Structure 1
Amino acid sequence: MSTPAQYYQSLPPVSKFYGVACLMTTSALYFGLYDPWNVALSYRDVFTRFQVWRLISNFFFLGPFSPFFAIRLIMIARYGVLLERGPFGKRTADYVWMLIFGALSLLVMAAIPFLWTPFMAGSVVFMIVYVWSREFPNAQINIYGVVTLKGFYLPWALLALDLIFGASLMADIIGMIAGHLYYFLTVLHPLAGGKYVLKTPRWVHKLVAYWGEGIQVNSPVQRDPNAGVSFRGRSYRLNGNRAQTSTTPSEQQNQTNNSGDGVAFRGKSYRLSGH
């Protein structure tokens, strides 16, 4: 079995970032560092008080610590990771674009009064689950060891559970709508002969390349070789050879002349026999 640290290191970058961000947001609330309504989505505050952070911050608040919060975080760790490793394997920029498109779609829907919800992190989670259910429709899912169903029906089963537990369904429903819109534009519409209109923008590829995490096949931009590197310097091998991350031709020539064949000390040697 892997340790918690090994499990954390094994997570793909986007799901890891989003899950940790949601956990840190709720932890900050637990310690009383902010009022949750200061990060809630409010178009009135955005346009009259210029509190533009509300357009982003509401996507990272899953609520206070509770069973509801734990279930949503597990859904990110389960279905978000499976989606990122499966259909979006080696397509980190495409996965980031899916989340950005989903967030923009949710912001548009929230502008309609009866679809508005103050916190839409749960909607993003349901979007992830919905896209996963369409990518793995025949996967066998066991819910609480009681019901076994196919992956295609998972979002609807979770929606029914929220209804039973008395939770608000609006965030779940608009998340499923955003997920269906993305899946329709990227999979169903092109398969029906339509034009692929939701290509990942170049700036998203640049963002992922600058971030230096994940992999994107056929990326239109080159990954920044310095991304994710906080220090570059010289290193020394155990046999005395000096290695350097980047050197000029003149430095390489000097290193060749002064290397000493990797021997740190030269002198006479004697056999044990004395000869």
Structure 2
Amino acid sequence: MIKVSELSKRFANNPVLKAINLNVKQGEVVAIIGPSGSGKSTLLRCLNLLEKPDSGIIQIGEVTLDCQHYNHRQETELRKQSAMVFQHYNLFKNKTALENITYPLIVGQKMDKKQAMQRGLWLLERVGMVDYANQYPITLSGGQQQRIAIARALAVRPKVLLFDEPTSALDPERVHEVLQVMLQLAKENITMIIVTHEMEFAKYVADRIIFMANGIIVEEGLAKSIIDNPQNALTQRFLRQLTDDIDFQI
């Protein structure tokens, strides 16, 4: 479903992605982990051209794009293949939950308004938010907003769902409700790439885990294998830091 070849990106003189190669199969759930600044989110944003890569080849589904030579039509076609769920929801504040979902259908896909409403309500039902269809984001918790954002991403029937740390802005008690929705999607054979710090979730939901550091893929493998028995010293150190108790001295 996804094939990335020699993907590179730099900001000014700082190389953030260094010739990344990545393959994701149809229906596979891949979690990307790693320290801050490792290039995880940049990789995700390059896949749908929110960030423009400097070089490399991106293929999603049947659409292939050479990052150094492409036109507007090719860019649009690649973007249609995926949908992204952001860390901070990115909902329209002046639109209801239902309107947030129907807007890309009516405006972007020229769908009939009644049909878009039906699809929107069905998607809200899927994420457990149909009772909040007419509420505005400001009246909803972070977890509720994120579930609406997931429904909005699903609305355009993408071939791939991209999640950029979808729970990191949530209160701890709200994390579970979003992870439950993502777990259900994983069971439905939807191709997903998830940048996350939720190691237990990654271990039990992802088929494969990729560990990134310093702009490269350092280690990848079966999720349980990477979490329980990492081979690379950088991966071992990263996972150890997440589990070590903090020793305060006052």
Task: Calculate the TM-score normalised by the size of structure 2.
Answer: 0.27
- Select the structure that is richer in strand: 2
- Select the structure that is richer in helix: 1
Point out the structure with max Rg over C-alpha.
Answer: 1
